[in-house]
Amino acid sequence: MDFFAAQARAKKHTSRLVALFALAVIGTVLGGYGTAVFALRQTHDDRPQRSGRSAQRSTLNAPFPSWWQPQLFVGVSSLTLAVVGLASLYKWNEFSAGGSAVAESVGGRRVDPHTTDTLERRLLNVVEEMAIASGVPMPAVYIMDAESAINAFAAGLTTSDAVVAVTRGTLEKLSRDELQGVVGHEFSHILNGDMRLNMRLAALVFGILVLGLAGRGILWSLRFHSFGGSRDREGKNSGGIVIAIAFVGLALLLLGYVGYFFGRLIQAAVSRQREYLADASAVQFTRNPGGLTGALKKIGGFALGSSLQSNKSGAIGHFFFAQGFRSNFGGLWATHPPLDERIRAIDPQFDGKMFDAPEVVDVARESFVTAGLAPAQPARPSHLAPAPAADAMASIGTLTPEQIANAQLLLDSTPARLRTATQTPAEAQVLLYALLLDEDPATRTHQRTRIASRAGGEALRLLDELTPALRALRPEHKLPLLQLSLPALRPLPPAALNPFLETLDELVHADGRVTAFEFALQKLLIRTLGLGRDPGAAIVQIHSFNAVVDEIAIVLSAMAHTSDNDALTAADAFALGAAHIKLIEHQLALLDPVDCDVGPLDPALDTLATANLPIRQRTIMACAHIAGADGRIRVAEAELLRAIAATLDVPMPPLTTAA
């Protein structure tokens, strides 16, 4: 899967979606205008008649209303657009709180990283593997305890605030391979840009629906009104007003639900196509079609299938792995293709037979492999072999069986005590302090003093407890440990987060220099936590390469000086990278190390993070070619490259490196 091509397709789908919804809104406006003109013409016919010559004169002087009323059209259009726009913005504002807000709104419970439930640990293990393999920040994991059907969804505006949620039935009814297929499907939505598209769909449909809800509310408010009563003039006027209000309510109800009908048609059509893509990607990720088809067959054979009980989930029905609610209008509103079609798209030999999900299995006494906590697979090599440098770009936004195997190897070879430390805020903070300790004794002593003064004696005691496990740590384990720590660090309030980040900064600068790993750790942490708290901040503002020539030169120069070695000079590496940005190649020049160190590099990356996808793609491609200019990628190059990719919101898996 080409990450950048997938993102471009998602953007193209979004543009078409906006155009289609614009047509739906225009149709609603025209319908509202036509209704208003019709009402005006009816009112003209029904106005009180006066006797004699004055009545004749009045009739001649008052022309019959035409179908074109400019002022009325402007008024109806403005009101309709205001209602739809404000309602969509309201719903979008709800979603801007991030994936966790969506999961909690439908009854999701966040899985405790320390859970002793074997099924929950299996789920966390599968999600960790996928996150490490794909290079995305570890998503928060939720379980919908009240839902016994088999279903799941991913939600979020960016990879930094993404969540993966599954139903209780998914945990209890699926094997590990099947669970991996479902989670792979959801990671496809994360990597393909579908999460943001799904949220836009929900917000736009809600905006149109509000018109119908407003009409229904007006009619509901009149349900107890009596049209009888006194026959005096006041009573007649009151009755006329009530009839007029009822007419407005009925018109809004009809127009809103007509618009909603077509909006749901658009939503369903877009969603069905994205589900086929996610299925294909999940099979590509796991190279195990039986896992995904097994999950789909169990949905088909299980009595509850994928049906959801909570009405709150209706608004995000198109987020889910499978059809969560009965489709109306003969399947026109179906957000997912039929199960048999999805299965046959993966397995053309499918005979149409579904099977029942097995009863809940007691896994308390099983081994890790049979319980699904570890995959059953052939023995793997004890270390990762360096990959060709060209693979760096090909790995972006992908999930392959090799990457998943490498992720499993990384997790298996990480000391258990360090993995445990990633699961709580207090220990995760100390773990990151520990990763920054210098090998020089004097610097290390100074760093420990700063930790004690900033975080207290308990932090120092925990640091000593982690030290034996840290001695067994290899460089390729460090950034994955940061990824695993992110879910524990996200909930930290500013009062706790700010001192933690300040302490990290002091540890980084304790020796007067900043290594590639130190910069990568700080940048990955700050960027991910920042977007996790405010995913709406990821806004594209720059669309021209010429607007960011200086920033690109700083980034490429920093990478070139990191790649400088005996076999290749920084100038040669820089030229190789600059050649991949043809539009501004001749405007780019290698800077001195002091002009592209951490000081200038940090704001340059923040500026490039607001650039459009082609600019970010070309910048990362140039950096990857600089890093691999000598045919291999060293640890420092890989760390800086991942920091650059993460800042530009591009998921890059761990890169196998040369020592």
Catalytic residues: 186
Q: In what order do the strands lie in the sheet with 163-167?
A: 109-110, 140-144, 163-167, 152-155
Q: Give dist(CA 119, CA 373) in Å, integer.
A: 8
Q: Give dist(CA 208, CA 28) in Å, integer.
A: 9
559-567 LR contacts (CB < 8 Å, sep 24+): 559/623, 559/626, 559/627, 559/637, 559/640, 559/641, 559/644, 560/590, 560/626, 561/593, 561/596, 562/516, 562/627, 562/636, 562/637, 562/640, 563/626, 563/627, 563/629, 563/630, 563/634, 563/637, 565/630, 567/630
List beta partners, residue 166: 143, 152
Q: Which two tokens stand for residue 506?
A: 């002091």
**Helix, strand, coil in percent for the chain, rounding step 5:** 65, 5, 30
Contact 40, 65 (CB under 8 A): yes
Phi, psi of 573 (to 5 degrees): -65, -40
Contact 167, 307 (CB under 8 A): no
Phi, psi of 140 (to 5 degrees): -70, 145
Q: Which string of b and e fits 283-320 if b means at least 16 CB within 10 Å?
A: bbbbebbbbbbbbbbbbbebebbbbbeeeebebbbbbb
Report helix, strand or coil for 140. Answer: strand
Q: Give dist(CA 570, CA 563) in Å, integer.
A: 7
H or E element, residue 473: none
Q: Give the angle subtended at the CA of 636 by the CAs of 135 and 650, to the nearest 5°.
A: 25
**CA 156 to mean position of chain CA atoms:** 3
Phi, psi of 191 (to 5 degrees): -80, -25
Angle between helices 289-301 and 233-286 (to 10 degrees): 140
Contact 606, 647 (CB under 8 A): yes
**CA 33 to mean position of chain CA atoms:** 38
Distances, alpha carbon 157 to alpha carbons 14, 535, 545, 609, 611, in Å: 14, 6, 25, 15, 17
Q: Give dist(CA 4, CA 616) in Å, integer.
A: 10
Distances, alpha carbon 465 to alpha carbons 418, 431, 435, 455, 461, in Å: 10, 10, 14, 15, 6
The runs of H, that is alpha helices, within 395-515 are 401-413, 416-421, 425-435, 441-455, 457-471, 475-489, 494-508
